[in-house]
Amino acid sequence: MKLAHSPSTPRILPPSSPPLLASLLFERFAPGEMHEALAGDLQEEFSHGRGRPWYWRQVLSAIFIGQSTQLRANWTAFLFAALWSAISPSLLFFEVHFVENENLMERIRQLASPWFTVCKEAIEVSAFFFILWIGLALYVSLHAWATRRGSMRRFARALLLTIPLFLRVWMAVAAITVLLAMAFPQRIFDLDRPRATLLQLIIAMAFSPATVVTFCTMVPSLCSSLPDRRSRRKSRVG
Amino acid sequence: MAERTYLGELELMLLLVLINLGDDAYGVPISRELERHRGREVSLGSVYASLERMEGKGLVTSELGEPLQERGGRARRYFRITQKGLQQAHETRQVLVQLWSEQPQGGAA
C-alpha cells in the first residue's frame, strides 16, 4: 500500500548549509590554487544530500593534503622559519639589552602612566618586527642567490604582510599564554634553568611565546615572498 | 637519454575518467566516477591535488565556468586531457599490458 504524504507529518529535509566550523576551518587552513573550485564542489555535494560526517572528512582531508603539499613545495621556507624562530629569543634578549644600555628605558620610565605602557609595548613590538624583517630579507636574498630569481615587489608585499599576521598571531598567542598561565601557574613558566635537563630547555625554548609568534608569522610571509608555484614550474620547464 | 616518467595509479585513473566525462569533467563527477570504480570514498582534496600536479606537468588543462547559486556563488573548474596526457596514458597502458602478459600463470590469479 502506498502511503500519501500527509501535510501534518514533518518531512525530514537534509540540512541546507554545511557545518559552520568545518567551513571556517576549510576557508582558513586549506591552501591551493583550486581552493575556490574545491569549496564549491563540497557545497554542491552537500546540497545534493551528503551528510555532515562526509563534509567533515572531506574538509579535514583537504586541509591535511593542502598543508602537506605546501610543506613539500616550500620546505626551505619552513626550515628557515624554524631555525630563525629558534634563535629569535636570543635576538630579542640582545635588543632589549641594547635599549637598556642606551638609557632609553630610564627615560621611558619617567613618562606619565599611559605613555609608559605604550612606549614599552612599542619597543617590544618593534623588536619583533626588526627580527622578522631581518630574517625575511636574509631568506629572500639567499633564495634569490640560489635560484637567480628574485622580485622586489614580492619582497615588499611580504614585508607588509608581516604586520597584520604578526598582530593576529601575537594576540592569539598572548590569549593562549594567559589561559595556560591561569591553568598551570607553576608548571610552564617556573622552569628551574640551572637544574633543567637539555630536553626541558629545548622544549621550553621551542614553545616559548616569542618562538611561536616568530614561526607562525614567518612561514606565510616567507611563502608569499617566493614566486608562484605555477610560474616556478614554467621557468623550470623553459 | 631523455627521462621518461610513467603515471601513478590515481593519475592514470584520473586521465581515463577525464576522457570518459568529456566536457562535463569537474570535481564532483570526477570524484563520483572514481568512487564508482574503486568502490570507496574519494577525497576531493586528493583529486584536486593530483589534478593540480598534472596540470603542472602539462597532462591536463583547466578553465573556470560560471559562478552558480547552488555552489555558494563559486564557479566550477572544468578539466580536459591534453595531447601529452593522452600519449602518456597510452604509454602507461602499453607498459602495464606488457608486464601483465609476462606474468607466470600462477601470478595472474
Contact B85, B12 (CB under 8 A): no
Q: What is the mean pLDDT of residues A21-50?
A: 87
Helix (H, G, I), strand (E, B), or coil: what is residue B63? strand
* pLDDT at residue B46 is higher than 80: yes
CA distance A9 to chain B (A): 27
Q: How confident is the model at residue A215 (pLDDT cuts 50, 70, 90)?
A: confident
CB contact under 8 A, A64 and B74: no
* pLDDT at residue A203 is higher than 90: no
CB contact under 8 A, A41 and B28: yes
Q: How confident is the model at residue B32 (pLDDT cuts 50, 70, 90)?
A: very high
Q: What are the extents of the domains in chain B? A: 9-100
Give B69's DSSP letter: G
Q: What is the mean pLDDT of residues B15-22?
A: 94
Residues of B in contact with A237 (CB under 8 A): 58
Contact A115, A149 (CB under 8 A): no
Nearest to B49 by CA among A166, A217, A58: A58
pLDDT tens for each residue of A77-127 = 889 988 888 887 777 666 666 666 667 667 777 777 777 778 777 877 888
The beta-carbon neighbor of B45 closest among A40, A62, A233 is A62
- Distance between CA atoms of A28 and A155, rounded to whole angstroms? 23
pLDDT tens for each residue of B95-104 = 989 998 988 8
Q: How confident is the model at residue A10 (pLDDT cuts 50, 70, 90)?
A: very low
Cell triple for residue A72? 613539500
Residue of B34, B57, B59, B74 to mutate, interface with A, max A Cβ within 10 Å: B74
Tell me what pLDDT residue A95 has. 64
**CATH fold of B9-100:** Arc Repressor Mutant, subunit A (1.10.10)
Tell me the percentage of chain B whose pLDDT exceeds 90. 66
Nearest to A207 by CA among A85, A81, A67: A85
Tell me what pLDDT residue A44 has. 92
| Chain A contact for B77 (CB, 8 A cutoff) | yes
A42: enclosing H helix or E strand: helix A35-47
Strand partners, B77: B64
Tell me the percentage of chain A whose pLDDT exceeds 70. 71
Tell me the percentage of chain A whose pLDDT exceeds 90. 15
The beta-carbon neighbor of A40 closest among B31, B49, B75 is B75
CB contact under 8 A, B71 and A54: no
Q: How confident is the model at residue B13 (pLDDT cuts 50, 70, 90)?
A: very high
Contact A169, A210 (CB under 8 A): no
- Residues whose CB falls within 8 Å of the CB of residue A83, separated by 6 or more in sequence, listed in order: none
Tell me what pLDDT residue A237 has. 41
ipTM of predicted assembly, 2 dp? 0.87
Q: Which of A10-19, A31-40, A122-131, B23-32 has the highest mean pLDDT?
A: B23-32
Q: What is the mean pLDDT of residues A205-214?
A: 75
Tell me what pLDDT residue B44 has. 94
Tell me what pLDDT residue A22 has. 92
Contact A15, B32 (CB under 8 A): no
Backbone angles phi, psi at A11, to 5 degrees: -90, 135
> Which residue in chain B is spatially nearest to A235 when comparing CA positions?
B56
CA dihedral A57, A58, A60, A65 (to 10 degrees): 130
